[in-house]
Structure 1
């Protein structure tokens, strides 16, 4: 069987991928320009649940706000710069970003938002997001009839 090559469809797909890439970059640049910082994240599919990890060192757990719906998740918080003394000597440089952050994630599958668990250890926020029953794969056993004797 021969498949006809359609170069315009492939070009359109590449254009969509570039649009998505530049949209993601521009969102990060806009947030950074406002004085916010953007923590690194990773989303992993672990079968019956998703695991989202955010690297947010030096953020107090009490300063975190996590809001979850069935198909999205928002995490916001603030990393504060604390000075111990008024006459403290200045920094030579600082590459650490301070201030507020907010990340919103569109989830690839529906989740049970009332059963989300959060753990914050060593500057890593780990969210366990159980998948909704309608997206979980279930094994179905096929019953066979035995021939009549």
Structure 2
């Protein structure tokens, strides 16, 4: 079992993120299909012993339109979305276009080696593997008793 230091500033940051998400859900207008105008991809951050794994939902995105930047304590993903949807019924063709850019900054709970980040885009899911810096890993060291 390891001890985790309590950081009240991290709690304030979490509260601010929750409030921002609440206001986005309430005040961002939606189109007639219930989709939010604009685009804010959903993200999932998990932690392993060696790295953080960040997954973002980016359906229909062209990987060439993505810009990924990794700092020591955060990852920024931005891009341009150009989505086209076509249907044909009873000889009538209906086409919808959705355009928009997005930018999402995801803070990472610990320091990462930003020069060693690996990215994979498959089936609309962007997966980033963010290796932890050596000193941030929880190493167990044998202590000699004198």
TM-score normalised by structure 1 residue count: 0.69
Larger radius of gyration: 1
Q: Does 1:89 align with 2:93?
A: yes
Count of aligned pairs: 125
Deviations 1:13-65 (A, max 9, x none): xx997655223323566777894211111000111100000010110110000
**Are residue 55 (structure 1) and residue 52 (structure 2) matched?**
no
Q: State the distance in 2 between where 1:28 and 1:58 align.
A: 22
Higher helix share: 1
Instruction: Decide whether aligned partners of structure 1 residues 31 and 37 sit closer, same or farther in structure 2, where only a CA change above 3 A counts.
Output: farther
Partner residue of 2:33? Answer: none
Query: Matches of 1:46 and 1:114 in 2, distance apart?
Result: 18
Say if 1:32 and 1:38, in contact at 8 Å, map to a contact too.
Answer: no
Structure 1: runs of 5+ lacking an equivalent: 1-14
Q: Partner residue of 1:7?
A: none
Distance (whole Å) between structure 2 residues aligned to residue 132 and residue 45 of structure 1 = 13
2:68 is matched with 66
Is 2:103 the counterpart of 1:102? yes
TM-score (norm 2): 0.70
Mapped to 2, the partners of 1:126 and 1:113 lie a distance apart of 15
Q: Mark the CA change 1:18 to 1:141 in structure 2 (over 3 Å): closer, same or farther.
A: closer
Cα distance in 1 between the residues matched to 2:117 and 2:50: 13
- Higher strand content, 1 or 2: 2
Q: Is the 8 A contact 2:71 2:114 kept in 1?
A: yes
Q: Report SS of the residue matched to 2:21.
A: helix
Q: What SS does the corresponding residue of 1:142 show, helix, strand or coil?
A: coil
